[in-house]
Amino acid sequence: MKKYLFLLLSLFTLLQVSKAAVRPNILWFVVDDMSAHFSCYGETLIQTPAVDKLASEGTKFTRAYVTAPVCSTCRSALITGMYQTTIGSHHHRSGRGQLKIHLPEGVAPVPSLLQKAGYYTCIGSGLPDLDYRGMPYGTGKAGKKKNNNAASNLKGRLGKTDYNFEWDAAMYDSHDWADRGDKPFFMQVQLHGGKLRADTVEANRALAARARAELGSATDPQKVILPPYYPRDPVLLEDWAAYLDSVRLTDLHVGRVIARLEKEGQLDNTLIIFMTDHGISHARGKQFLYDEGTRIPFVVRGPTIPKAAVRSDLIQQIDMAALSLAAAGIPIPEMMQGRDIFANDYRPREAAFSARDRCDETIERLRSVRSDRFLYIRNFFPNRPHLQPNAYKDHKAIVIALRAAHEAGTLPSVSEELLFNPTRPKEELYEYVNDRWQITNLAANPEFKTQLESHRSQLDEWIASSQDKGFESEAMYDSDMAEYLKKDNPEVQRNIALMKQWAKEGK
């Protein structure tokens, strides 16, 4: 009898150990240049059934913010779970020249940690036959087949990284999880998102044609509702409609990846996180610290994740690193600033912090702290205009249209004030919960002196405690600009000269 009891006990123990050893797959959707314009977040002009379903089957966060509103700095932060300002990767496309950036001791990219723990790590489109744009591999922008060789085609299957520090490419095993064997997989699905819309009117019309072909319709520009500081210019309306179609096409791709997981029997054992790397690329969005640039969709679905839950606590994209490691049963490094937002002992953040620094050739330094009610922004270059010269942005049709309207004197006063003032206030304070578009700056209002001072102190404390690396050295700027100058772009050359001139003038 004792022998049988012992066998039963051993079998029970074996089953428990086996059950504990089953670790979830982890899949991240990381989408370029897209705000929370999904129907589950209140967008009414389009429908996004795939992301909506993720939200209904998981937890939706309504106040998720990036620590940096531009690709490379945001991605450097999310892959390490660290503020980009702490690890010195806060200048866009930095460390690309002769001078390199190395991670501080004790900081490692999440794929490396998961790989060491036995995960099969991948980065790609999440689909075997479509690329990051949702188009067949090897096709150009117009859908025509390229004559790619095998090596370049394989490279094209790897997803976007864009990290500003030195890293080992071997931390990714593949572009897809198909060859993982019996290992759990970690998959970064990198999607083109808002970049599906392009800089020109013609390209956006081509995207509308694609939407009609794949989705049965295109978004009507006349039905678009713009933020109040953008005029209802035909170029801007058509561009925003193309952007909403990029949201729909992104949602279509997400649905296909989810269907693949379900077909392969992996859906119920996969932790899925859907987010974007910053907000819409626009004159007050991408690269800036207002909601339009920093607020993102953030949806989590998977084993143990509450279903149909909505959370309004402040979170940041770096929390994705910590919660993923926790789900895999991997200890969260002590240095990691991201938090496991599903931990039993989790205490919600009192504030969310964001920073914007040099973007391409354009020198900038902005810092912000967002509390439960207020958004405080500090401009370190108040004598420079909001729309500083920048070759990347100045070639966009929307910026060209805005500048033309400014020169013609046809812009509404709110557009002139927020977009084209030659200088900016040193401090901005918005009651963002009531001022959706952050239009009314309360920093000079004596009724909000207490809030201004408390947020000012809070930001000062964060800059010190997080060891914000601050301004870029002239040597590092010159090192990275040498890479830009290789493209022989006269506009970039002029902008670099202007940045140096303004620095000498103390502007």
d(CA 334, CA 327): 17
Sorting pLDDT into bands at 50, 70 and 90, what band is 150? Answer: very low
pLDDT tens for residues 488-498?
999 999 999 99
Edge to edge, the sheet with strand 427-430 lists 352-356, 366-370, 375-379, 427-430
Condensed to tens digits (0 to 9), the pLDDT of residues 417-460 reads 999 999 999 999 999 999 999 999 999 999 999 999 999 999 99
Q: For residue 458, with 0-12 CB atoms within 10 Å meaning exposed, 13-18 middle and 19 or more buried, which class applies?
A: middle
* Topology of domain 23-141+148-342, CATH: Alkaline Phosphatase, subunit A (3.40.720)
Q: Can you give the pLDDT at residue 141?
A: 57
Q: Give the pLDDT of residue 154.
A: 52
Say if residues 427 and 242 touch (Cβ distance below 8 Å): no
CA neighbor of 64 nearest in space, from 298, 283, 243, 325: 298
183-236 tens-digit pLDDT: 999 999 999 999 999 899 999 999 999 999 999 999 999 999 999 999 999 999
What integer pLDDT is reported at residue 140 of this predicted model?
67
List the chain domain ranges. Answer: 23-141+148-342, 366-505
pLDDT digits (tens, 9 = 90+) for 101-114: 999 999 999 999 99
Q: What is the pLDDT of residue 218?
A: 98
Environment class of residue 497 by beta-carbon count within 10 Å: exposed (0-12), middle (13-18) or buried (19+)? exposed
- Between CA 363 and CA 471 the distance in angstroms is 9
- In this prediction the pTM is 0.93
Interval 308-323: pLDDT, tens: 999 999 999 999 999 9
**pLDDT given for residue 380 in this prediction:** 98
Query: Which residues make Cβ contacts (< 8 Å) with residue 101, sequence separation at least 6?
Result: 88, 89, 94, 95, 164, 165, 166
